[in-house]
Every structure is written in structure tokens, then in C-alpha cells.
Structure 1
Amino acid sequence: MTKDRGRERQEEKETGQKKTVRLYTRQNDKTLYQLERDGRIINQRIYVELHFGDIAPLFLDSYDWFTRKASAIVEKPEDVQAPIWCSISRENCLRPVPGTVVYVLEVPEEQVIYFDDEKWDYVLNRIYLPKDKEDQEKYKQHLKELGVVNGFEFFQGRYKGMYPEEERRIQESWNRIFDIDRWSVFNVCGNIWEIRREWVLRIVHPGEDVL
């Protein structure tokens, strides 16, 4: 992962020998009961399904892929089935709306899975994620040589099952979401596997400012 001065500007502090980072995440307000009861909040696959509703099947494979890859970066607790999406800045975090709250967290950096949210769109759309513009042009030429018109249809469309090697090539390209070429509060996310009670600095309700 690329580190630069942009990362140094991220809100962080030293706590003993552990560096911590400030994260922000909007969650359903029912998680307040989970936090009170269990001392932690975790995500389950069913919550992703409920969140996306009818279009959930289009995204679940991508979320399952992310979960597998992210667990190789930060070990996943056995009872967790999906990560918790977080913003690294209050400027870019989702504001609380009715039925939700925003958790302001101070999390040990070793627990954070950083990735490029702009690159994540390629995973959601299940298309090839190029390294750079040159690689993108080479891939376009590669599709022409295959006789493929639409690179969106390898996993769900006219080419499904026809090009298994191409499917593997695309999936391998998705690993680049963890390579952060440009560090900013607008494209970098920091996911975690759980919210622990001791990490919660503040709970922001609708109508309150995220400070």
C-alpha cells in the first residue's frame, strides 16, 4: 500500500505504543442495542442483503470476494461474515438520517483494512481493473482480439462461462483495490471487522453535527 503525506494528515494519535486512527461509519440505529448487549457490533451477510434489497444478488458475490481478501490482510473473527464500511474523515462520511446513527471511532490502525473506494466500483461492476492508462488500453485491445464487445458480461451476460481464464484475470485485477495510488479522504476507505465499545468516541444522531 502506498504511503504518502496525505496519509500523515489523517486524524491519528499515539496511544501507548499503538497508533490509532479516527473512523466514521453510519449504521442502522438497531446496532445501538447490539453494542449495549454485546459490547461490540458485527456485520452479517444477511444485513448486506437487507441493505441492498432486490439488487442484493448483483453485489453479494463482490462483497464475499472482498471479505475473503480482506481477511488475509486483517484476521477476521469467526462470527463475522462481512466488514463494516468506514470513512477516514468526517468531511466525507455519510451523515445520520432517520433510522441511523454515525459512530465516531478511535481504532487501532492494525485493525483497519485500507482500500481505494473508487477502484471498488470495478469490483461491484465485475469488470477488469487496470493498473494504469497504458494497461487499460492494452486490455481494450485484448477484448477486441477476443471478439468481445462488452467487458461487463463475463460474469452475468452473454459471455458467462465462456471465458474462465478471462474471469480469473479479472478477479486477479481486483486485488489492486488495496493498492492506494492517491491518498485522499474522498477515495480511501478504512474497513473494520467489528466496532468495539471501547473504540466508540461518540454516537451522532440525526440532526447532530459530526464533529
Structure 2
Amino acid sequence: MVDQDAKKGSGGEMVRLYTRQNDKTLYQLERDGRIINQRVYVELHFGDIAPLFMESYDWFTEEAARRVEKPADVHAPIWCSISRENCLKPIEGTVVYVLEVPAEKIIYFDEGKWDYVLNRIYLPKDETDRQEYKQHLKDIGVVNGFEFFQGRYAGKYPQEEARIKESWLRVFEIDNWTIFNVCGNIWEIRKEWVKQIVHPGEAVV
């Protein structure tokens, strides 16, 4: 079921979003009146595998900033769910913020397509494009499309790297709007946007 309230609307519309964050952000919210993300927080979240993913996150941050202006002190977006049903529930050490955010502050994208960016591979437009790209790899003698940025082909096919990065822009194109594939990222959580703070054991409403 599509959450109609989460669809992008005209200026002035408020959209409900849900995001689970470390409970230490409660102090940041009280102290600063806002919560922002830092690149180091993303690195800590991924731990030892962070180097594999940070280039993708940095790419996303740069492209997202072209769509919604990024505050100067923010280094990474805050990931949000567009629905109560599909949001991450609070567990120990976390809280869920229920927000009402101005529609123009939200960067919508397809989380299913995000996996292609995260894995640094080509994001096809459709099934026809997928098959054509597979044939293209065969034509140029490439057996593994995962190795253009790291691995045996790294640095050897700059045109292919550019082609792959260009395809990633499709992550912002939502072909099928559902609560399961659409995310709505924001650059900050402002105190006035917070409608509920949900602790472990409490219900998200």
C-alpha cells in the first residue's frame, strides 16, 4: 500500500517521515535544536567495511545536494522511511523520531536502486537496458561488472566508470512508488519537526 501522505507535493506541504537514530542524538537535539549527520558517523556504522561503501555515500551526498541545498556543516544525509509500517523500530540504544518535514526539504530516492550504487555497478534503465549492458560487457571482454572501481579492471576503463556513475542518477527516478522501495532523506532534523520520540518498547504512531 502506498503512503499517499508521503508523496512529494507542492511548497508548504508537510510530509511525515520516520527515522531511527542513536539515542545520543537526544542530547544533540536538546543542545542545538537540531540533529545533523557527520561522515564519521557513517564510517562508524559500517566499521571495517566502511572504505568499500564511503565513495558511494559521498557520491550520494554530492548528488543529493544538487537537488536540495545542503547546510554547510552537514556532511551526510539522514535516512528516513516514508511509512510507519516499514520504518525501523526502536531497539536498545536507539530512538525513532516521527517527523513532519516540509516537502521541499526531502530528497526522495529508490532504495532498491541504491544497492547498485552501493555495490558500484551499472544501474540499468529497464530489462532491455540490462540485457544490452550484459552484451556490451561481453563485447569489450569484461566478465565481471563489479570490478571497474576495485579489482582487475580498476583504472583501465575510465569511460565505463563514467557510464556507470551516470547510470546511478536513476536512483532518484522512482518508477514504482511504494513504502518498501521509497526513502526520503533529509539534511537535518529540526526540533520543531519532531512530533514523537519513540523509545524501545513503545509504539510508533
Within 5 Å, give how 1:100-179 maps onto structure 2.
Answer: 100-179=94-173
User: In angstroms, what is the RMSD of aligned CA positions?
Assistant: 1.4
Q: Percent identity?
A: 74
For 2:153, give the aligned amino acid.
Answer: Y
The ranges of structure 1 where at least 4 consecutive aligned residues each deviate by more than 2 angstroms after the TM superposition are: none
SS at structure 1 position matched to 2:53 = helix
2:25 equivalent to 1:38: no
Q: Tell me the equivalent position of 2:5.
A: 10
Tell me the secondary structure at the aligned position of residue 98 of structure 1: coil
Measured after TM superposition, the shift of residue 10 of structure 1 is: 2.7
How far does residue 135 in structure 1 lie from its aligned partner after superposition?
A: 0.3
Amino acid paired to 2:76: A
Opposite residue 129 of structure 1, the aligned amino acid is L
SS at match of 1:184: coil
Gaps in structure 2 of 5+ consecutive residues: none
Give the alignment of 1:39-58 within 5 angstroms: 39-58=33-52
Question: 1:189 aligns to what?
Answer: 183
Instruction: Give the TM-score of the pair, scaled to structure 2.
Output: 0.96
Change beyond 3 A, Cα 1:11–1:164: closer
Unaligned runs of 5+ in 1: none
TM-score in terms of structure 1 length: 0.94
2:44 partner letter: L
Matched, 1:84 2:85: no
Amino acid at match of 1:19: E
Inter-partner Cα distance in structure 2 for 1:170 and 1:43: 27
User: Within the alignment, does 1:65 sit opposite 2:59 as a pair?
Assistant: yes
Structure 1 Cα separation of the partners of residues 137 and 31 of structure 2: 53
